[in-house]
Every structure is written in structure tokens, then in C-alpha cells.
Amino acid sequence: MKKDSNDLVFHDGFYIKEEDIIKAAKRVGDFAMAEHYMNSLLFHALKYGKTYLLKEVNDIRKNYNTFLFDLPEESPASNNNMPGYWNQNTKMTEEVRKRYQALGKDELVNLLKCCLTLLMAYSKDIFKKKADWIGIFMVIRDRLDGHLTQKVFFDLVQQITPEDWPSDCRISSSTMSNYGRYVPYKHRDLCYYEMEDNPWRALCDAFWNIVQQQILTDN
């Protein structure tokens, strides 16, 4: 299997070797659980243009006698060479947004609180200060709820912040007003994943992966 510096897959709050994720998916014996692993592999493959992982996903699907994805023709790994899987990723993103927007208020609060708990438990070094809430705001606004305002988000945070959240990382009344201080004017109309210099790129990626996995595997 091809190796490079990005061979750790983010799965359920952990960074796990690609080969270990593949082995777990094949051995778990239950397709629903295996699909959870495969989703992580797909996200990873799409993010880094790793076409060889697409074949691995199909091999896993063969083990469970389910349909296979159409693979792109052999060519150097790049995002542009993965049209079928970019469509798959778009469909997954749309499905996540659809499920999120169908949640009741209590369900939504519980989901986001759970995601934040996982984020802090397994990526505690990624959320270090109050301003990092802006990264969480951008993920929810750009991926899940395009109508979200800073005021509504501030009120929401009061409900979704886990009880054991560090005091120095709790949102304050001035946190969201610092948005313009961190986000250059030229990026104000862009989604967080389109920004050249997003100061919360790692945080946004980690939180979005957790949200996707929590929603897609919630039966």
C-alpha cells in the first residue's frame, strides 16, 4: 500500500493508521459498523486525493456483498481525478445537512454538545481559547445552517457547551465581535474551506469530521 505523510485517518476523534482502519472494517462483521469505517476512509481519500484508498473501500464492500463504486481511471492521485467520489462526497455532505436540519431543538443541542465533547476529549490541543468558537461557528454556518447569525450562535453556545468545558475556553459576550479581527475582509464572503489562510483550519476539519460521523452513523 502506498504511504505518505498523511496516512493517519481521523475516525471517531482518533487519528488511526490507514491499514488499521481497513483491517477493522473488514473484520468487524457488521456492514453498518464497517460503513462507519469506510466513511472515514472516503473523507480521508477525498481530502488528500488518495485514489488507492478508493480501491480499498471497494474491497471492503466486496466482503459484505454490497454494490461497488465506479472507480476513476488510473491516473496520478489528485482531487480532479476523483469525479465519482467527489459526487459521493457531495451527496454525503447534503445528507448530513438534511439530517441536521431535520433535528428537533433538543436533538440538535444534544448532537452538538456530543460533538464538542468528542472534540475536546480527543483533540484537546486544537481548541485553546475563546476565539476558537469562531471556527465552530463557521463550520455550522457554512456546512449545516446558512442562516446562522453570530447572535443566534452565541445563544446556541450557551446550551451546547459541555459542563466540564474549560473556563478559559468558554464563549464571552465579546467573542464573536472579534470575527473581523481574525478573518480578513477579502475572505468575509467565503466559506471557511475556501479561505487561503483560515486560522481555524485544523479545528474546522476536526469538528466537521466529527459532526459528519456522528450524524451519518446515528441510527
**Burial (Cβ within 10 Å: 0-12, 13-18, ≥19) of residue 164:** exposed
The ranges assigned to domains in the chain are: 8-96, 103-216
The set of cell numbers assigned to 208 is 466537521
Q: Which of 124, 122, 96 is nearest to 108 (CA)?
A: 96
Digit-coded pLDDT (tens) for 128-150 = 999 999 999 999 999 999 999 99
Higher pLDDT, 197 or 19: 19
Tell me if residue 9 falls in helix, strand or coil.
strand
E-only strand ranges, the chain: 8-11, 14-17
Using 50, 70 and 90 to split pLDDT, how confident is the model at 74?
very low
Question: Is the whole model's pTM more than 0.75, yes or no?
Answer: no
Residue 111 has a CB neighbour count (10 Å cut-off) of: 18
* Cα–Cα distance, 105 to 120 (Å, whole number): 23
